[in-house]
Structure 1
Amino acid sequence: MKLKKYSTEDVLFSAFIAIFMIVFLILTLYPILNTLAISFNDGTDALKGGIYLLPRKFTLKNYDTVLHKDNLITGAGITVARTIIGTLLALVTNAILAFIVSRKNFIFRRQLSLFWVITMYVNGGLIPTFVLFKNLNLTGTFWVYVIPGMVSAFNMLVIRTYMNGIPDSLEESAQLDGAGYTTIFVKIISPLCKPVYATVALFVAVGQWNSWFDAMLYNRMKGELTTLQYELMKLLSSVTNQGQSVEAMKNATGTVTPTSVRAAATMVTILPIICIYPFLQRYFVTGLTLGGVKE
Structure 2
Amino acid sequence: MNRRIVLHKKKKTSCSDKIFVVLNTVFMIILVIFTLYPVLNTLVVSLNDGTDALRGGLYLWPRKWTLQNYITVIQKNNLIIGAYISVARTVLGTLLALSANALLAFIVSRKRFLFKKQLSLFWVITMYVNGGLIPTFLLYKSLGLTNSFYVYIIPGMLGAFNMLVIRTYMAGIPDSLEESAQLDGAGYMTVFVKIISPLCKPVYATVALFIAVGHWNSWFDAMLYNRMSSNLTTLQYELMKLLSSVTNQSTSVEAMKNAASSVTPTSVRAAATILTMLPIVCLYPFLQRYFVTGLTIGGVKE
Same fold flag (TM > 0.5): yes
Aligned partners of 2:11, 2:145: CA distance in 1, in Å? 67
Aligned partners of 2:234, 2:258: CA distance in 1, in Å? 30
1:119 aligns with 2:126: yes
Secondary structure of residue in 1 paired with 2:84: helix
1:207 aligns with 2:204: no
Report the alpha carbon displacement of residue 279 of structure 1 after superposing the two structures with TM. 2.5
Picking from 22, 33, 36, the partner of 1:26 is 33
Matches for 1:5-154 after TM superposition, within 5 Å: 5-154=12-161
Query: Which runs of 4 or more aligned residues in structure 1 lie more than 6 Å from their structure 2 counterparts after TM superposition?
Result: none
Instruction: Please say if residues 41 and 59 of structure 2, whose CA atoms lie closer than 8 Å, have aligned partners that are also in contact.
Output: yes
Report the alpha carbon displacement of residue 252 of structure 1 after superposing the two structures with TM. 4.2
**Seq. identity, %:** 75
Picking from 152, 158, 163, the partner of 1:156 is 163
Aligned partners of 1:26, 1:265: CA distance in 2, in Å? 23
Instruction: Please say if residues 43 and 260 of structure 1, whose CA atoms lie closer than 8 Å, have aligned partners that are also in contact.
Output: yes
Report the alpha carbon displacement of residue 283 of structure 1 after superposing the two structures with TM. 3.8
Instruction: Please say if residues 51 and 263 of structure 2, whose CA atoms lie closer than 8 Å, have aligned partners that are also in contact.
Output: yes
Report the alpha carbon displacement of residue 7 of structure 1 after superposing the two structures with TM. 2.8
After superposition, what is the alpha-carbon deviation per residue over 1:256-293, rounded to whole angstroms, capped at 9, x for unaligned? 01110110011011111111123323444649xx9xxx
Partner of 1:260: 267
Partner of 1:293: none
After superposition, what is the alpha-carbon deviation per residue over 1:90-143, rounded to whole angstroms, capped at 9, x for unaligned? 000000000011111111111111111111010011111111111111111111
Picking from 258, 280, 284, the partner of 2:287 is 280
Letter in 2 for 1:89: L
Structure 2 gap segments, 5+ residues each: 1-6, 298-302
Secondary structure of residue in 1 paired with 2:117: helix
Aligned partners of 1:285, 1:211: CA distance in 2, in Å? 28
Q: Which has the higher helix share?
A: 1
Secondary structure of residue in 2 paired with 1:147: coil
Instruction: Please say if residues 242 and 249 of structure 1, whose CA atoms lie closer than 8 Å, have aligned partners that are also in contact.
Output: no
Aligned partners of 1:248, 1:200: CA distance in 2, in Å? 47
Partner of 2:245: 238
TM-score (norm 1): 0.94
TM-score (norm 2): 0.91
Instruction: Please say if residues 226 and 232 of structure 2, whose CA atoms lie closer than 8 Å, have aligned partners that are also in contact.
Output: yes
Q: Which has the larger radius of gyration?
A: 2
RMSD: 1.7
Secondary structure of residue in 1 paired with 2:93: helix
Report the alpha carbon displacement of residue 248 of structure 1 after superposing the two structures with TM. 3.7
Aligned partners of 2:260, 2:24: CA distance in 1, in Å? 48
Aligned partners of 2:257, 2:75: CA distance in 1, in Å? 18
Secondary structure of residue in 1 paired with 2:202: helix
Structure 1 gap segments, 5+ residues each: 291-295
